[in-house]
Amino acid sequence: MSAIRNSVHNGFLGRAFAALSAANAVSAAVEAGRRPRARDLTELGIDPASFNRVIR
């Protein structure tokens, strides 16, 4: 059973869920006027250092 769990976690479904979760967290942080976590930005392919230079 753990082989199936590992394949879901490391496979397409795991990556898709992680990307959707990161996108949700980043959008909520931006809407609230807070800085998103670096881990969430990295998951979406956004450089956290360059995100700070975006003019709002």
CA torsion, ordered 47, 50, 51, 55, to nearest 10 deg = -160
Q: What is the pTM of this model?
A: 0.76
Please compute, for residue 22, the number of CA atoms within 13 A of its CA located in the half-sphere on the CB side.
16
The predicted structure's pLDDT at residue 6: 67
Q: What is the pLDDT of residues 1-54, one digit of tens each?
A: 566 666 666 788 888 899 999 999 999 999 999 999 999 999 999 999 999 888
CA-to-CA distance for 4 and 51, rounded, in angstroms? 37
The b-or-e profile of 8-34 (16+ CB within 10 A means b, else e) is: eeeeeeeeeeeeeebeebbeeeeeeee
Provide the residue count of the chain. Answer: 56
